[in-house]
Structure 1
Amino acid sequence: MRSRGAKASAIGTAVLLGSVVLGGCGGDSEPEAGKPAAADGSTGGRQQSTQAVRAAYDKTAEAETAKMTLKTKAAAEGKTVDSDGKGVIDFEDGDSTMTVTAEGRTVEQRVVDQVLYQKVPGQKKDGKPWMKIDLGKVAEQQGADPGQIGDPAQSAAYAKAISDDDVSKAGSEKINGVDTVRYDVSVDDTPLPARERRRLLVGPTLPMRLWLDDDGRIRRQQIDMTVKAPASAKPEASGSPQQVKVSTVMEFSDFGTDAEAEAPPAGEVADVTDRVARQGRKQS
């Protein structure tokens, strides 16, 4: 059986696959403000908030499975791209199924044993409708830890890096009819894995908002960031934007739901792992 840390990293997998690999971006708007929480600047109050955030990923993973939705929005140079995803995730092994709709197209994706399969309407590789990306191999070829590739935010590592000064209790809100408490989190990227490249692209901190239910589980997670173009990118030649503002909102519900993911038939799959890895190295 995998460790709690491994299970918790499956939560971050959803963010990676929805907002990075798919290039999807969505979310309708900023979350509306909820009922203000009582201000508590005491040391004890700050410690309780920090402990709640640190424990949230493990407590969520203890549910084993859940339904999830993912909304992302990317804005650059006056253009905005939205996408909406929905599916189920198994926190035990990180497997998931999801459909993501963006710009009138619906992408089907599955994750099985750290391998991503995507089916994009109208796109085929060597006559095959499914594209395969081995996330572990991509990590190895890019010099990252393959054991952590499933979590771009490095959820478990971030939780450990959070200090009392990084967390504030922001208010109470209902998320899909469930009472939650919102925490605003700003995480220092310094001690985290793969920090050098991420700091160049995103900056020194990762701003997050977490909405936790009465059991300490994540009901909503929002990450807002401005992603800078890699140094290797040449906007004057490629037309690439200098920076992109990205907002990702993920929600969990129906904990304990059935969640099974199966790889597509081998004869319908084309492996594009090496191509993806090469693209990643060029942007480093």
Structure 2
Amino acid sequence: MRNAWTKSGALMVATAALGGVLAGCGSDDGSDTPGKAGRSGAAREQGTAAVRAAYDRTAQADTAKLTVRVRATADGQTAVSDGRGVVDLKDGDSALTVTAQGRPVEQRVVDQILYQKVPGARTPAGKPWVRVDLKRLASQQGLGTQGIGDPARSAAFARAVTDRGVSKAGRETVGGVATTRYRVNVDVGALPDGANLRRQLGPAVPMQLWLDDDGRIRRQQIETAVKTPIPASAAASGQSAAPQQLRIDTILEYSDFGMDVDVEAPPTAQVTDLTDRTPQDGGTPRG
């Protein structure tokens, strides 16, 4: 049986790594409109305060149910995944059942380590689980490590929001809960590792947040294009090549705040580490 962690698996790993970087910044459309007629400076300041406080207020709930939909496109190939599960909002650990390319995948993130299990599939070592160190993967791919799978660090994104970067977009219902939707622009250069992220994301990243009346995030919608490094094979051969782009569209929704969440890593004997076998050129894993 062909290794299940090839093209679709590689996109899923890339999505997990990049999704962590982008967890605090992104959007589904348009830009913010701070100069819109009738919007006072005081209203903008109130919106900015609400957005800046949202991550802390959400993390104070400790835990939540999480649904996520990710669409990743690179080199003309698209992978779509839908996930449902639970998340620890303070340390970023999570357990999800993800359906990607029609295959169910059990996925856990513990201490910034991604674990995945595809029913019926086996790694080259014959073990059911694969392991990818997201921090190391991001470093290898030149993406920086700040914010990888760690909502506790996302307050840094809030600090990169200015009054001119926030506008209120009205009231909407999300999962049966009344919310206020905000459009936000994040100054990428003001983030931790901002110079590196700026090369990947550009100077600013738009985001949309839906906040409930307690100021917690109920939905976060992201749509961004990320410049990925020049393939290693091209660099090694001296060929000229432009950075590739990975487009990631993501919708996160939170509910059932404060529920019991206990996420553990799989037994070591059942895990194969694929961090250094993750495709760098869009092909099959190295090693």
**Per-residue deviation, 1:138:** 4.7
**Partner amino acid, structure 2, of 1:187:** V
1:8 aligns to what?
A: none
Secondary structure of the corresponding residue to residue 258 of structure 1 = coil
Output the CA distance in 1 between the equivalents of 2:42 and 2:254: 29
Secondary structure of the corresponding residue to residue 261 of structure 2 = coil
Unaligned runs of 5+ in 2: 1-11, 20-27, 30-35, 282-287
TM-score, with normalisation over the residues of structure 2? 0.74
Output the CA distance in 2 between the equivalents of 1:117 and 1:146: 18
Task: Count residues with an aligned counterpart.
Answer: 250
Change (3 A) 1:65 1:135: same
Alignment check: 8 A CA contact 2:231 2:280 kept: no
Deviations 1:46-96 (A, max 9, x none): 000000000001101111110000011234566543210111011233221
1:209 aligns to what?
A: 208
Output the aligned Cα RMSD. 3.5
Once structures 1 and 2 are overlaid, which stretch shifts more, 165-174 or 99-108?
99-108
**Partner amino acid, structure 1, of 2:192:** P
Output the CA distance in 1 between the equivalents of 2:257 and 2:214: 12
Change (3 A) 1:222 1:169: same
1:108 aligns to what?
A: 106
Alignment of 1:22-41 (within 5 A): 40-41=38-39
Matched, 1:59 2:57: yes
Change (3 A) 1:57 1:40: farther
Output the CA distance in 2 between the equivalents of 1:70 and 1:246: 12
Alignment check: 8 A CA contact 1:135 1:149 kept: yes
Matched, 1:264 2:249: no
Output the CA distance in 2 between the equivalents of 1:42 and 1:21: 39
Output the CA distance in 1 between the equivalents of 2:213 and 2:151: 27
**Partner amino acid, structure 1, of 2:221:** Q
**Partner amino acid, structure 1, of 2:132:** I
Alignment check: 8 A CA contact 1:18 1:85 kept: no
**Partner amino acid, structure 2, of 1:174:** T
Alignment check: 8 A CA contact 2:67 2:83 kept: yes
Once structures 1 and 2 are overlaid, which stretch shifts more, 112-121 or 42-51?
112-121
Change (3 A) 1:160 1:241: closer
Output the CA distance in 2 between the equivalents of 1:104 and 1:63: 33
Deviations 1:136-173 (A, max 9, x none): 55567678876743349962211011100010001110
Deviations 1:159-205 (A, max 9, x none): 01110001000111000111000000111111222233332332211
**Per-residue deviation, 1:116:** 2.0
Deviations 1:221-269 (A, max 9, x none): 01111223433475xx9xx994343211000001111211111122101
Change (3 A) 1:137 1:200: closer
Alignment check: 8 A CA contact 1:69 1:251 kept: yes
Output the CA distance in 2 between the equivalents of 1:77 and 1:145: 23
1:74 aligns to what?
A: 72
**Partner amino acid, structure 1, of 2:226:** V
Output the CA distance in 2 between the equivalents of 1:76 and 1:162: 29
Output the CA distance in 2 between the equivalents of 1:118 and 1:275: 14
Alignment of 1:120-135 (within 5 A): 120-121=118-119, 122-135=121-134
**Partner amino acid, structure 2, of 1:131:** V
Output the CA distance in 1 between the equivalents of 2:52 and 2:191: 15
**Partner amino acid, structure 1, of 2:158:** A
Output the CA distance in 2 between the equivalents of 1:226 and 1:154: 22
**Per-residue deviation, 1:125:** 3.6
Deviations 1:19-64 (A, max 9, x none): 33499xxxxxx69xxxxxx975211110000000000011011111
Residue of 252, 255, 260 corresponding to 1:253: 255
Alignment of 1:204-243 (within 5 A): 204-232=203-231, 242-243=244-245
TM-score, with normalisation over the residues of structure 1? 0.75
Change (3 A) 1:56 1:266: same
Output the CA distance in 1 between the equivalents of 2:90 and 2:69: 23
Change (3 A) 1:80 1:18: closer
Residue of 1, 6, 16 corresponding to 1:20: 16
